[in-house]
Amino acid sequence: MKKVKFIYNPFSGENVILDELDKVIRIHQKYGYIIVPYRINKESDISEALHDIDEDYYYILVAGGDGTVDSLVNAMKAKNIDLPIGILPVGTANDFAKFLDIPSAVGEACKRILESEPTPVDIGKINDKYFINVASTGLFTDVSQKTDENLKNMIGKLAYYLKGLEQLPNFRKLKVKISSKELEYDGYMYLMLVFNGQTAGNFNLATRADVMDGYLDVIIFKAVSIKDLIPLFIRVIRGEHLDDPKVIYYKTKELTIETDEDIVTDIDGEKGPGFPLHLQCIEGGIKVLGIK
């Protein structure tokens, strides 16, 4: 019987996975696989879960949100592990798994994963770190980092929105310089997102993104007057913002971002590197199971 390394985050979402552990093991045994579990805790690095990976392992199953999957991908790249991954989306933010149409029900997701073939998908790289869904900078980008973990588990995405409201008094335009083959921009913005996936915080922003096209989707919300923000937000909700003149949107394989502003970066809900930033798309960077 081949082995499956099962990495789960008991703190993700509303601790859903804790009630599903037997189901995960039972389904895998039915398909002829042995589950080797590893419980993530706040004191250890996820790379410790990979110390025994060898040729007996078929794939790595991870239960958690975007941040957990992101940490796993970075640990795998650091150790040159090229196994396929399967995702059980049980975190507060599961944007990447939703983009790949992975079922939210644990049992259904396990069966889909076990009955599928590995599919190469793109990942992003920002300086020396990798990301699966989105890298961002500008206003509100550190909301996830500042939101208490217990609050996330209690009220889910609402916790992010409440934390975002606290930052409204700091609303200001930001000077940035963006360089790429397709675009040179030296001006002001409020928020910039570089997508490998499609959604962020449940908002479908990169509506034209394709995780297998070898490109990142760049969205820059330019600094505009306050009166223009409400109609722009309405266009975002309708999915019509990419063609709005107050938004810069394009696809690229790599770009550079520079700024002297006192702002942070975020990659999949976790703190990202400092400026300057060099981002690139790693085409077919990981293999994922469970994609239709």
Per-residue pLDDT of the chain (292 residues), as tens digits, is 799 999 998 887 778 899 999 999 999 999 999 999 999 987 778 999 999 999 999 999 999 999 999 999 999 999 999 999 999 999 888 999 999 999 999 999 999 999 999 999 999 999 999 999 999 998 866 544 444 444 344 434 443 444 444 454 466 889 999 999 999 999 999 999 999 999 987 788 999 999 999 999 999 999 988 788 788 888 888 889 999 999 999 999 999 999 999 899 999 988 899 999 999 999 999 999 999 8
Its domain, for residue 193, covers: 129-283
Number of domains in the chain: 2
Residues serving a catalytic function are 270
Whether 108 and 133 share a structural domain: no
Contacts of 248 by beta carbon, 8 Å cutoff, 6+ apart: 183, 185, 218, 219, 220, 222
Is residue 66 a contact partner of residue 99, using CB atoms and an 8 Å limit?
Answer: no
| 109 shares a domain with 209 | no
Do 74 and 177 share a domain, yes or no? no
Residue 107 and residue 226 share a domain: no
In a domain, 279, yes or no: yes
Residue (of 94, 114, 117) closest to 104 by Cα position: 94
**DSSP type of residue 239:** T
Angle of CA points 60, 267, 174, to nearest 5°: 170
CA distances from 29 to 24, 36, 56, 210 (A): 9, 11, 15, 34
Question: CA quadruple 20, 26, 32, 34: dihedral positive or negative?
Answer: positive
What was the pLDDT predicted at 233?
83
Does residue 288 lie in a domain region? no
Residue 137 shares a structural domain with residue 265: yes
Tally DSSP H helices, then E strands, for the chain. 8, 17
Domain check: are 152 and 238 in the same one? yes
| Secondary structure (H, E, C), 146-204 | HCCHHHHHHHCCHHHHHHHHHCHHHCCCEEEEEEECCCEEEEEEEEEEEECCCEECCEE
Report d(CA 30, CA 105) in Å as an integer.
18
Kindly state whether residue 291 falls inside one of the protein's structural domains: no
Q: What is the reported pLDDT for 288?
A: 98
pLDDT at 140: 67
pLDDT at 201: 73
Q: Is residue 204 part of a domain?
A: yes
Q: pTM, whole model, 2 decimals?
A: 0.88
